[in-house]
Amino acid sequence: MKTIKGPALFLAQFAGDEAPFNSWDGITKWAADCGYKGVQIPSWDGRLFDLQKAADSKDYCDEIAGQARANGIEITELSTHLQGQLVAVHPAYDTAFDGFAAPAVQGDPKARQAWAVEQVKLALTASRNLGIGSQATFSGALAWPYIYPWPQRPAGLVEAAFDELAARWRPILDHADEMGVDLCYEIHPGEDLHDGITFEMFLERLDNHGRCNMLYDPSHYVLQCLDYLDNIDIYKDRIKMFHVKDAEFNPTGKQGVYGGYQSWVDRAGRFRSLGDGQVDFAAIFSKMAANDFDGWAVVEWECAIKHPEDGAREGAQFVKDHIIRVTERAFDDFAGAGTDDAANRKMLGI
C-alpha cells in the first residue's frame, strides 16, 4: 500500500489575465496559500509556461521547478489536453476546435494535426527535462459523432476509426517511451476513449503499449452511470494519474444523461465542487491506497454554481482530509504469538 501524494491543483481553470493568476510566480504562491503542495501545468498557457523552451532547455525547466519549490509547490505533471484533442478531430468539429491551435495552422486540419502531434511530443520531452514520469492528455475523437447508432452504423466504421486513432498515437507513445514518460489519457465523453471498453479497443491496437495509461476522473463516470469504484480495480495497473473532481446525476421525467441541450446548471448531470456532489471519495481513496497508486491527487475544479477560488480552497482541505496515511503494520500484530514452520505444521496436524 502507498500514501497518495497531495493535494495538487490543475491550473487550467484558474489561469487568467489578472494577478496572481497571470504569472508562474503568482499562481504558485496563490496555490500554496490555498493549501496545495503541487500543481499540474496546462502546457498550452504561455502566461505560465513556455513549452518550446521547456523542451529545448533543461536549465529553463530547473528554473521553473526551482521557483515553484521556493513557493512551496512541486510540479506534478504537464497537461496536453487541448493539443491531444487535436491529434484526431472529426470534420464536424473543425470549427469548434480550431481555437485550440496556433493561429498559423487554424483552418488547415492537416497542418493542425501535425502541429498537435509535435506539441504532445514537445511536452513529453519537457516532462523528461522536468524529471516528471507522467503526462495528461486527451485522445481526440473520430467516431464520437456516431456514438448513438442512428442511423445504423455501417459495418467496420468504428473499427476503422480506432485503427486510425491508434496509428496516429503510436509514434507519440513510442516517443513517450524514449522519454520515460507515461501518457495518461483522461477517459472523457467527447473523446473516442470515453470508457473502459473504448480504452481496451485502443490499447489492443497498440499491442498493449506500456506507455498507454489512464487518467482516472470519477466525475465522468458518474455522468455515464458507470461503476467508478469497480473501474479502479479493473484498471489499477493502467491508472497512473488521478483528477479529484465531483459530480452529481439527478435524472427527472424530462431529462437524463443527454441533458436535453441544457446549460450546465440545468442539466441532470453536472460537475460540482468537491464535497457538493455524489462521488464516494472515501471509497476511492481507500482503493487507490490499497492498489498502490503512486501518483498525486490533483483537484480539477469544475462547478456550475460555486466560485472557483472558494472551490479551490475547499478542495485542498477536502483532499487533505481524504488522503490515507497507510499503515506499516497490521492492526492485530499485538496478538501475534510467533510461529515457525514446525509450529505451523503442528497447528495443522501434519
What pLDDT was estimated at residue 80? 98
146 by Cβ neighbours in 10 Å (0-12 / 13-18 / 19+) ranks as: middle
The model's pLDDT over 329-344, given as tens digits with 9 standing for 90+, comes to 776 666 676 778 888 8
Cα separation, 6 vs 74, in Å, equals 10
CA dist 286 and 186 (Å) reads 21
The 3 state secondary structure assigned to 241-259 is: EEEECEEEECCCCCCCCCH
Q: What is the mean pLDDT of residues 186-215?
A: 98
**243: phi then psi, degrees, rounded to nearest 5:** -95, 125
Give first-to-last CA distance, the chain, whole Å: 34
Q: What is the dihedral of CA 198, 199, 203, 205, to 10 degrees?
A: 20
**How much is the pLDDT for 340?**
85
What does the alpha-carbon distance between residue 210 and residue 199 come to, in Å, rounded to a whole number?
13
pLDDT of 51: 98
Q: How confident is the model at residue 327 (pLDDT cuts 50, 70, 90)?
A: confident
User: CA angle, corner 133, sides to 245 and 61, nearest 5?
Assistant: 100
State mean pLDDT over 23-47. 98
- 161's grid cell: 476509426
Q: Checking DSSP bridges between strand 246-249 and strand 269-272, what pairing results, if any?
A: antiparallel
Residue 217 has pLDDT above 90, yes or no: yes
What pLDDT, on the 0 to 100 scale, is given for residue 332? 67
Q: Where are the alpha helices (DSSP H) in 257-333?
A: 281-290, 308-322
Confirm if 319 and 297 have CB atoms less than 8 A apart: yes
**Cα distance between residue 337 and residue 350, in whole Å:** 20
Distance CA 54, CA 199 (A): 30
Residue 291: pLDDT over 70: yes
Percentage of the chain exceeding pLDDT 70 = 98
pLDDT of residue 277 exceeding 90, the answer is: yes
**107-135 burial: b if 16+ Cβ within 10 Å, else e:** eebeebbebbbebbbbbbbbbbbbebebb
At 17, which amino acid appears? D
pLDDT digits (tens, 9 = 90+) for 117-159: 999 999 999 999 999 999 999 999 999 999 999 999 999 999 9
pLDDT confidence of residue 334: 63
d(CA 230, CA 154): 32
Averaged pLDDT score across all residues of the chain: 96
Q: Give the pLDDT of residue 335.
A: 64
Model confidence, pTM: 0.95
Quick one: cell of 258?
443527454
CATH of 5-348, one of 3.40.190.10, 3.20.20.150, 3.40.50.300, 3.30.2040.10: 3.20.20.150
pLDDT band of 268, cuts 50, 70, 90 = very high
